[in-house]
Structures are given as C-alpha cells and as structure tokens.
Chain A
Amino acid sequence: MGASFGRGGATSFLQDLQNSDCIVIQGSNMAECHPVGFQWVMEAKARGARIIHIDPRFTRTSALADHYVPLRAGSDIAFLGGIINYILSNEKYFREYVVAYTNAATLLRDDFVDVDDLDGVFSGYDPETGMYDTSTWTYEGQDEGHSSAGSQRTASGAEADSPGGSRADDAGSGGNGQESEVSQSERGGGHEMGGHGAKLKHAEVHRDETLQHPRSVFQVLKRHYARYTPELVEQVCGVSPEDFLKVCEAVTENSGRERTTAWVYSVGWTHHTVGVQYIRGSAIIQLLLGNMGRPGGGIMALRGHASIQGSTDIPTLFNLLPGYLPMPKVGEHDDLPSYLDTIRSPDQKGFWAEAESYTVSLLKSYWGDAATPENDFAFHYLPKLTGDHGTYQTVMDMLEDKVEGYFLLGQNPAVGSAHGRMQRLAMAHLKWLVVRDLNLIESATFWKDGPEIETGELRTEDIDTEVFFFPAASHAEKDGTFTQTQRMLQWHHKAVAPPGDCRSELHFFFHLGRKIRERLANSTEQRDRPILDLTWDYPVDAEGDPSADAVLREINGSHLTGEKAGQPLKLFTEMKPDGSTSGGCWIYSGVYADGVNQSARRKPGKEQSWVAPEWGWAWPANRRTLYNRAAADPEGNPWSERKAYVWWDAEQQKWTGHDVPDFPADKAPSYRPEQGTPGAAGLAGDDPFIMQSDGKGWLYAPEGILDGPLPVHYEPAESPVRNPMYRQQANPTRQVYPRPDNLQNPSPPEAHAEVFPYLFTTYRLTEHHTAGGMSRWVPYLSELQPEFFCEVSPQLARERGLTNLGWATIVTARTAIEARVLVTERVVPLLIDGKEFHQIGLPYHWGVGGSALVTGDSANDLFGVTLDPNVHIQETKVASCDIRAGRRPTGPALLRFVEDYRRRAGITIETGNTRRTPVASGTPSRAGSTPAELTPAESQED
C-alpha cells in the first residue's frame, strides 16, 4: 500500500463500504474475523451492491456473498493479473483518471527487463544473494545531473558503497544460513517502505500521455500481464473461465465515473512469501479502474485485532520508529543528516520532504531538553540496527544463545507463530522470559507441558529459563486508545480496576523504566545517558497508574518555545526542524488539537454526516478516505454527482466536501509548480497522491519494493504444483533459512514433491481469538469451538479414508499433528491441470498445554520459516502436506514418524531453500510442464 499510494494504511473506512456498487473480498474472511465491520458489507448488499468472495474456503463470508469463487491457496496474483489483463485488453480502464493520477504515462529506463525475458526474474537479480539491484527499475531521467548512476539508495538498500566494502556475497541461497552483516542490515531495512512512498531523486519524470510509448509504464504493464489469460487463470487457480469472467465483468461494470468497486483483504493476502505483491496487484486494478480516493472505492486492509494498525503506527516492529520513520542503521546513519538523506531526497515532491521536522520533533519528545541543535537532537541516543532483528531471526538467535531475555506481551508464539517447535525450543535457551497476559498461556508453560516434553526433546529439569508471569489488565481495566483498521483512534475509559495483581502495560513499563532509572541514577557512564535523559515524568494516580492521557498529549506534540509554548500542536504541519516543537508520532499529531482528546469524541452517527468526522479521530488530520483529491476530476469537479466526495469550490478558492480534503486546502486544480520545486509545494493541482515522490499512484513501483516493480505469479515456498508460467518456481527473493531445524517440503521441479500432495491453509474462527489466549480460557467461547479440527472435502475424505468426527494426522517436514475431521462440501476440490486438487483447512487456535479449558495440537507447528523479503512476514497461509486417517504417534515415536516422511521425500537442508530455481535437468515435474515458449531464455542468466 505504501509503495503504491504513499501510506501504509487502509485507504478508506468501513462505513464507506455502504457506498460501493461492488465489493470484492479476497484473502479475507471478513464475516468471521471482522463481523462488526461486515455490517457495512451487508448494508451495501441491501442497497443493491454485488458482493464477491474469492477464497480457498467457503466461509461464513462466502455464505453471505452473491458470488463465491474458490481458488487455490497461493494463486491470487495469477487471478489479479488476469483481471489486469482483462481490463487492459478490453479497454476497460478509466482513461482520464489513469492518465492524470497514475504513473501510467511515465517512461522507464531502457535497460529494464521484464520477467518474460529472464525466465521469471526481473533485471538486476543476483542469484548469489537472492536480491535485486533495482537501479534498472527506475524512471527514465532519474540519473540526470548525477554522476554516480546506480549508487542511489535503492529499495533494497543495496548501495555500491555500503559499509563492509562490497555487496553482500554468498549469502544464504542454499548456503549455511548465515547472511553477511550487510545483507542482514539491508533486509532489516526492507520493512520501512511498507509505511510510505519510496523516494525518488527528483520528480522530473518523462511522460507520454498518449500511453503509446513502448517504455511507458502503461505499455510495460500491458506486456507484463498479456500472458495472464482466463485459460492461465484456470490452470493456476483452478477457477473456470466462466467464473473468472463473471468477476471481471462485475468489477469493470461497477467502476467508472458513476460507480465504484471496493477491494477488501486481510491476512489471507499478507501471510505469504509474496504478500506485498498480492496487495500491489489489487492496487494496480483499483488505479486502472479509477477507484482510489473515491467513495465506495479504495482498498480496505482489514487489521486482525483491535489495535494492530496502532502497533505499526507506533510500532512494535524492530525496524520502524513512530510514524513510519525508519530505524537508523549502524554505519550508515551515524548522524542525523545522513539518516535524513535516506528518508527523503530534498528534490522530491510530497510531504515526506518534511521528514526532518518529524524526526526532530520525535527526538525532542524522547529526550526533551537534552536534545539540542548542537548534538543533532540526541540522534546518537537512538539505538541503531545491526541487522535483522525480526521475530524469526530473534528466535534463531535464541537457539544460538545470543539472546538472554524475552518479553512476551499479549503474544503466544508457542501457538501463534510459524514453526511452534522452533519457538518453544528457542525459549528454552533463554535465561529469563517475561510473559504478560490475561491467562497462563502455552508460551508461559511450555517448559512443563509443551509437546517437546512429551517427545523427550526437552526435559523440564534441563531448562534453565526463569519464567516470570505477570497477569495483565484487560482493555476495560485501563485508559487508552485503540487504533483500528481504518486508522481511527478511539479512546477507551477504564471501567473497573483490574483485579488482584493485574496491571496495564503502561503501568508495567512506566515503573520498569522508573526503577531502571533509579538504579542508574548515579551512573556517569555515557551509555546510560539515553535512559537517564529520557522524558519520563508522566503523572500517576493513587494506584500508581501513569496517565494515558498525558501519553497521548506527548504523542500529539506541542510547541516548546515562543508565544505558543506549551500548546498542543494542531497538526504535523506545525512541526519544525529547529527543535521548537515536540511530537511522539507525527501522523498522530492533531489527536490532541486544541487541548481536546479528539479520540474520545463519540457524537452519535445520526447527529452528524455519514462520514462521522466527530467520532474518534483518524490519522492523518482526521481524513477518513485517503487520496480523496482523486474523487474529483483534474479540473476539481466531482467525477459524477453520484460519487461526489471532495471537490474544488471555485468561489471560495478551496477544496471542500464531505471529508477533510487530503490535499493542500487552497491549491487550485490548475496550479503547476515551478520546475524543480521540492516538497509539498512541488505538488501540482492534480497530484492526488501527496505522499508519493511524484504525486501519482504507482501502477509500476520504480522504487520501494524488493521483489519486483510489478507482481508476478510465483508458487508458494512449498507447493505441489509446478509454476506453469516461468522456470522460476517461487519468489526468488524470499528469505530462506536453510538449517537442520527448518526443513522444507520439496516442491517441483525438486523430486518427491508427491510425498506432500496437498495444500493446507490456516485461519481463524469467529469463536476464538488468534492463539487462544483470550478465548480458550473463556467457557462461553470454548464451548462454541471446543476442539481442533481439519476441514476436508468429501472427495478427499474418500481418497484418504477420513470420516466425519474421526481423527486425521497432518504431516509436513517439521512435524505431524492430529485433528478431528469435519467433512464438508464447503471445501471444494479444484481442477488443476486436469487433475482433482485438494486443499485442507486448519484453524490455528489450539495449543498443547495444561491450563486452558480446551487444548489441542497447533496448526502452526506444521509450518517452517520462510519470509516475504519486504516485510519479513512468514508464509502461514499456505504450505504443502500429507494427510492420513487416524491419530498421530505419541512420544519419541512421533519423531521417527516424521523422520520417515523426510527420508521418503529425500529432504535435505537445501530442499526448498534454493531461491533461484535451477534450469530443468530432465526431472519431470509432477504437475505439468513448463510452457514451451519459456525454454529459450532458460540459461540466460545463470
């Protein structure tokens, strides 16, 4: 999202779905996992909208949709690419919108080479590192006026002059699993672009508004997707051309001046090794159809729980600072100017050019008076990244005894993270473990009742980990905000005091910090200054609870000097780079405007407009639909009466409408900046994507994404199906961890893929919450889904002798688990390459332990660790497996059982971990052949 539009959040709000003429829900089980938001889908349906659900499983969402399309898990890009091809080849795009508001007309460099010519990889691929040099992907003219072509910081962070001298070499692909320091650090930086538009050197791009130039983005797009035909969609996804065309017709008929279509996704799209590209696929469609920034349009990214959006805005991620500012890297960002230079280029358009103000205000809020212009506002106090410290890397570091302690806050990795066995074994290496949760979750008890105790891999008396369990306060027992799926902050008031020893996170960390500072109070060590100089002065109430209100004020920021000193900022535009303002998260600035907690507003819907701007507060600047300048045509008039939202009022010379305009309020549509004007002033009156370096929506991402400027269909990291499109089987830049404890199932063209002939996918049920910490201890929820089960089709049940309510054992290279069987017609076998293909559904809520009301094997134990290169997200929505009737062996026999599978499949450390698929050496793949037209290019590159 960030790379396509400029911001990493849902582009509209749930209530706006009622205005849609067509809603496509793909990669999301909205009715089950977001039941409250789903009311707006039902409202749209009642108003006559067409609801389409595209998903491997027939869920409660499908039951309510007008049209359900089953597809093979992990094949969505082929489906989306097919729609893009349909739109382009049938001239169904919204031409005026596309020309004016997207980068369709922009010309690319002449040395960019697409995947069709390189057998499944883009130009710049290095098979040794598994990474791209993205310099050939950028726009024509980006090098002009710069002598060091190619040295520009690209999305992967790959610089010719990166520390350590040379580019990372021999890192990883089938090697020893140790990435070089440089490579790790670069991968570590990948996530940041999830948050905002990538930078360009400058916005002087070459355009051909006839869209005819062969190097225009439009023509490149057309060529790139030409092979994504309905027949190919059928071959890859198992979707009939009739079903596929129905979707194409529905979305194109319901887009344009008068009508809009919305796309809804959630973790069914993100938990893949190509997850970012799934989202890019829908972004391209929505830009081509002109649905961005308009009522009833947009892309609704549904977040999985109450404040997951908040946890990226003010992040729990290792590589981000608040407001999507990247975490500085050691060696590269040793001072503030060099850090700022990598966030923004002074010559580009858009609001990121003000990054210095945001960064300095953040530093002022951290270190107050200790942050001065003379010391770079204490920039050197910030910790610097030395490499990848993502959750999976950290777990592997634990196994090597590189990590001593671990805080788990509302997180149950023993059940909820991929490769549960690795998680538990790693935690047994810790010296101490702090678990703060509502209940005694499996991650707090693995040392006495985890599955590895049963198999004998762990012995309680051998585990030295000291586990501290702190009972936590629930949301009703503390003040604070949720930032929910539509970027809206909503304040919740403490209703009752938490029982017993339960305390809020805020309480815990405030007092932990206070105690650490007391211990260090007399320290003269320079290294302790960052802690001692922190502003750590929140007022506390009688129970010792720090004021959440004061924290929100600090986040909002305030004026520090001048006549407004002490006043809260009205908006981030008031932030200054000279240290005269503070603010803990620039995008949240305005939540305490005028000294009022705007997030606590609860004006009833019937007392305000349908947009409800006075309910809570949404970032940025209380805008509910982002990029809403695009709701008007280039001249500033609504595209149609029916879809009027934000428009230019020529009389008053300002933007107005139902929402806060996402545009400089008084910039006329006809405004054209002087050539080379940087920053927000450089935006033209028809540049609706104000966070983008060129003001346009990116059909093609010249920067900012590590695994390709355009989405390409790759198979999941583990798949029994051969990629029919290219020699390249899976994402060539996926993060692999070839280690003995992270073995992968073979996928074609590797041998023995037939040992694991099925795909499985994991998911949540309405009745439980993720790893069960909030639901498996609650009788009213546990009784509704009391046992772990697998869902199989009647056909697969017959094939494997499974019976309803009987037991099944599901096996991967990692382990085998058992589940009760639900045989259901909701799981539909697909026809892939002329053969019946089966998928298995596994909800992942249960875990092995002794404390919960209901327990069971954990579906996440089946997964290995393979990650998306951009955002380090694991592929937990699809993998291959085998299934057989009956219960699994117990104790050490389980290990022998899995070992036998590994032997049969010939699994080694290299299996599935070679990023670049080798040239075929006569090994026939199980699921069909590589199309003939691909073979000539096969040896082109390695």
Chain B
Amino acid sequence: MPSLSGPLHDPAGDAGWQESQPRKGFFTDTSICIGCKACEVACKEWNGVPDDGFNLLGSSYDNTGSLSASTWRHVAFIEQAATPASNTVSLGMPTTERPGAAMNPESAVDFRWLMSSDVCKHCTHAGCLDVCPTGSLFRTEFGTVVVQEDICNGCGYCVPACPFGVIDRRIGEQGQKNVGIAQKCTLCYDRLGAGNTPACAQACPTQSIQFGDLDELRERAAARVETLHAQGVSKARLYADSPDDGVGGAGAFFLLLDEPEVYGFPPDPVVPTRDLPQMWRHAAMAAAGLLAGAVAAFLGGRG
C-alpha cells in the first residue's frame, strides 16, 4: 500500500514503478506572467480540449473562470485595489506603481493587476487518484497524475477528493468528446514520453511557466524568491512547494506575490486521504470497543 501523506521523494517508485524517471513538474512564476493566455490555448490545441463556452464573465480579463474539465490551464486576473498611501499625488487618486519595484518605496501599496496561470498540482499524495475506484487515474513514471479516459466510468469520486478543486467531469451534449468523463491536465504525458516539454510551458513567452525536474525547479524557485525579496518584493512566496504540506508537496507549484487566497488558492490544502489511516484506526478502535462491550455484556450476563 503506497503511503497516503507526508514527504515522499519518489512518488513514482512508491506507486510501484521499477524504473521511475526523475519527477517532473511545473514551476509557475506569476511575477513574470503577462496574462497572455498562450498556455490555455496551447493546452487546448495539443490535447484536443473543447472550448468552454463564449461567456463574458465581467471578471477582469478572465472569461474561462476556473480550471475545469475543458480548461486545464487557467489564467486568473486579480485587480487588487490600492491602499491609499500618505502624500498621494495631486491626481487625487491612487497611483499605480507596483510595490517594491516602485521608485519611491515608501509610497505604500498601489493598485496591482496580478496574473497567475493555474494548473493541476500533480500532488505527491493525490486525493483524486487515491479514491479512484476503476484505476483510471494513475501515477506515471514521471511522478505525475493522469486520467485514462477509456477506463474512467464517470463516477465522480475524484471531484470532491481534490483539495484544489481541479478535476471535474466534462459537461456537454452526449456524443461530444469525453462528456461525463473526469478530465484534467496530464502534464502532457504524451509529450513527456517523447522527451518534449508540455505545450503550455513551450508556449509561454516569458518563462513564467517552467518545466523540468522537480528538485531542480524547487532550487530555482527558492533562489527566485530570494532575489525578489532582495528587490523589496517582500510578499513574494512559494505555494504548494513544501513536502511537508497537506499534499506532500505538489509537482506543480507557484511563486505568488500575495496570500494564496488572493489568487483563489486554498491556503492550506490537505489531501482527504491523509486522515484515512487515522480514520481506520478510529474505526477499528470503535469496533474493538463495541466488540469489547458486547463481549463484556455477554460475559457479564453469564456471570
């Protein structure tokens, strides 16, 4: 039985791969994301994912809303109101410098437009995979988590099992591709097998989406945070990178410029199966207690 929580260096090996590859992942550096959505388009083109409907959402420049069965990369746009600083300029309104990078750093927090490309986290301990009854979801040799659409029976257990709300069943008319089937990012499993970079990372013009060996990405990310802190961007932090977090660290992690909640990320995600051993222990104890009670009653009755 694979482990269900805590740090784990080699999820692929843990899943039974004899010759696992170095674990692959994404480091999404939102500090240099320009919100071009090339990742969304490249993903759909490569993976044959249909459009998600033509709906103006009135939510800044975000018109796909969130990750879904038909949106495997999603760029969030957050217009962050300014905190009026003292001695504002004579325009009588907030200025729009970015903090830290501002020419006069004392001018507090200005209006910001944050952009961030979200994706499946490919968790070390993946709730979706753990609850999948058919084996459709599996751990690849690269340590990623992939749905096999021809095996999925559309039961939907995985949907509430994801602490990030990533995986979903595709909604659409019967007869369209994979309707009712659970869908999400595969980290371009087919491209990885051919030694290629996933489509989104390949298309990203500013290297906001970086693909590579997870160990190396984590080092790179830590250095980037240090640089940003040195430049005065004090709120820069990594998200979902730590092996000690509730999912054992994600294969796809992020550099954020503010609290995770600002971007719509859960602040402390926990894989629901983490508590499974404990639950079973409690259940066993309860069962043992019941059994003991029954035995006691029986023995007492006799005595």
Contacts and interface: CB of A to CB of B under 8 A. Distances in A.
A854 B113 contact: no
Interface string B86-100: 000111111111100
Interface in A66-95: 66-68, 70
Contacts of A238: 91
B96 A784 contact: no
B89 to A, nearest CB: 4
Contact of A804 (B58, B64, B103, B104): B58
Interface residues of A, number: 55
B280 interface: no
A35 B36 contact: yes
A785 B205 contact: no
Interface in B31-47: 32, 34-38, 40-41, 44-45
A246 B45 CA distance: 44
Contact of B41 (A42, A60, A780, A789): A780
Nearest to B82: A825
Nearest to A853: B54
B300 interface: no
B36 A782 contact: no
B81 interface: yes
A830 B113 contact: no
A63 B112 contact: yes
A58 B97 CA distance: 10
A782 B54 contact: yes
Contacts of B51: 779-780, 782-783
A825 B81 contact: yes
A78 B242 CA distance: 52
A901 to B, nearest CB: 27
B56 A42 contact: no
Taking chain A's interface residues, is the majority helix, strand, or loop, or is none over half, making it mixed?
A: mixed
B98 A785 contact: no
B115 A32 contact: no
A829 B93 contact: yes
Nearest to A854: B54
Contacts of B56: 786-787, 789, 805, 820
B96 A62 contact: yes
B103 A780 contact: no
Given A66-B102, A825-B111, A826-B113, A784 B91 contact: no
Nearest to B103: A246
A780 B89 contact: no
B194 to A, nearest CB: 18
A779 B58 contact: no
A242 B205 contact: no
B234 to A, nearest CB: 16
B97 A67 contact: yes
A243 interface: yes
Interface string A814-827: 00000010101110
B101 A58 contact: no
A787 B55 CA distance: 8
B37 A42 contact: no
Given A63-B113, A784-B40, A243 B34 contact: no
Contacts of A824: 60, 79
A805 B63 CA distance: 12
Given A60-B115, A64-B32, A38 B93 contact: no
Interface in A770-814: 779-787, 789, 804-805
Nearest to B90: A240
A220 to B, nearest CB: 33
B206 interface: yes
Given A38-B205, A783-B53, A68 B97 contact: yes
B61 A765 contact: yes
A765 B89 CA distance: 30
Contacts of B35: 31, 60, 63, 766
B273 interface: no
A786 B63 contact: yes
B207 interface: yes
A111 to B, nearest CB: 42
Contact of A766 (B36, B90, B103, B206): B36
Nearest to B32: A42
Contacts of B53: 783
A117 interface: no
Contacts of A67: 97, 101-103
Contacts, number: 136
A828 B55 contact: no
Interface in B73-128: 79, 81-82, 89-98, 101-104, 111-115
Given A60-B115, A828-B93, A831-B92, A31 B52 contact: no
A372 interface: no
A267 interface: no
Nearest to B43: A780
A64 B114 CA distance: 9
Interface residues of B, number: 47
Interface in B1-60: 32, 34-38, 40-41, 44-45, 50-56, 58, 60
B52 A831 contact: no
Nearest to A804: B58
Given A38-B206, A805-B58, A854-B54, A240 B91 contact: yes
Contacts of A60: 34-36, 61, 113, 115
Contact of B205 (A39, A61, A786, A825): A39
A789 B55 CA distance: 12
Nearest to A786: B54
A116 interface: no
B178 to A, nearest CB: 16
A58 B205 contact: no
> Which of B40, B54, B91, B97 is packed against the most chain A CB atoms within 10 Å?
B91
A783 B111 contact: no
Contacts of B94: 825, 828
Interface in A626-674: none
Contacts of B82: 825
B55 A785 contact: no
Contact of A66 (B41, B103, B112): B103
Contacts of B115: 60, 63
A781 B40 CA distance: 9
Given A783-B54, A825-B82, A250 B103 contact: yes
Nearest to B57: A805
Contacts of B41: 780-781, 784
B267 to A, nearest CB: 24
A35 B34 contact: yes
Interface string B189-216: 0000000000000000111000000000
Nearest to B87: A242
A614 interface: no
B111 A66 contact: no
A767 interface: yes
A63 B113 CA distance: 5
Nearest to A240: B89
B36 A31 contact: yes
Contacts of A781: 41
A36 interface: yes
A854 B91 CA distance: 38
Given A786-B56, A786-B63, A828-B93, A42 B111 contact: no
B91 A39 contact: no
A65 interface: yes
A787 B54 CA distance: 8
A522 B206 CA distance: 60
A247 B58 CA distance: 33
A784 B111 CA distance: 24
A357 to B, nearest CB: 41
15 contacts: A42-B206, A58-B111, A60-B34, A60-B115, A63-B34, A63-B35, A242-B89, A250-B103, A779-B51, A780-B45, A783-B52, A783-B63, A785-B63, A826-B79, A831-B91
- Give 7 closest A-B pairs by Cβ, nearest first: A805-B58, A786-B54, A779-B51, A63-B113, A240-B89, A787-B56, A66-B101
Given A58-B111, A828-B96, 6 more contacts: A63-B34, A64-B34, A246-B103, A786-B56, A824-B60, A826-B111
